[in-house]
Amino acid sequence: MLKLKPYSASLLSLAGLLLVAMGIYFVLLRPALLPEDLRYMKTTLSILNDSAQGLSGWLHKVFWVLGGYILTTGLLTVFISFTSFRKRLPGVFIIITLAGVNSIGLMTVVNFIIGSDFKWLLLSFTLLWVFALILYRLNK
């Protein structure tokens, strides 16, 4: 049988690195409001700025925090992919499954709900996580 263990750990590591990159984007590059945010809220930036003047500055800080958490999740995922996941330590499968569902999985679902421009990209990130878990299970 094909040895799938290194591939599952490599895919999980790649999924983690994508989260690291996403976290950096949220901290350093993401604007407070994307065009898709305004479309979903059915408003314009000028209306929001007039009615909630501090919103943009507050959202930047929220995205710094969110980005930090995304980056941290990615770092921990990469670390686990090279340690407990590769060694198949007890409990690692369920922890990585729950981490994927609650991080990139939930983000993907919400982005589909709001009709995000990034929903398919996020789905591809989620599928890397899913494939890593499938390969892990196939190589018992």
* Per-position DSSP letters for 30-56, written without gaps between them: --SS-HHHHHHHT--HHHHHHH-TTHH
CB 126 within 8 A of CB 104: yes
Confidence band for 134, pLDDT divided at 50, 70 and 90: very high
How many helices and strands (H and E) does the chain possess? 8, 0
pLDDT of residue 139: 85
Q: What is the pTM of this model?
A: 0.89
Structure tokens at 121: 């990209």
Q: Which residues contact 66 (CB under 8 A, 6 or more apart)?
A: 26
Rounded CA separation 95/78 (Å): 14
Average pLDDT over residues 8-22: 96
Please compute the mean of the pLDDT values over residues 35-50 and round it to a whole number. Answer: 92
Which tens digits make up the pLDDT trace of 43-96?
999 999 889 989 999 999 999 999 999 999 999 999 999 999 999 999 999 999
Residue range 16-38: mean pLDDT, rounded? 96
Instruction: Name the strand (E) or helix (H) holding 115.
Output: none
In the prediction, which pLDDT does 140 show?
Answer: 75
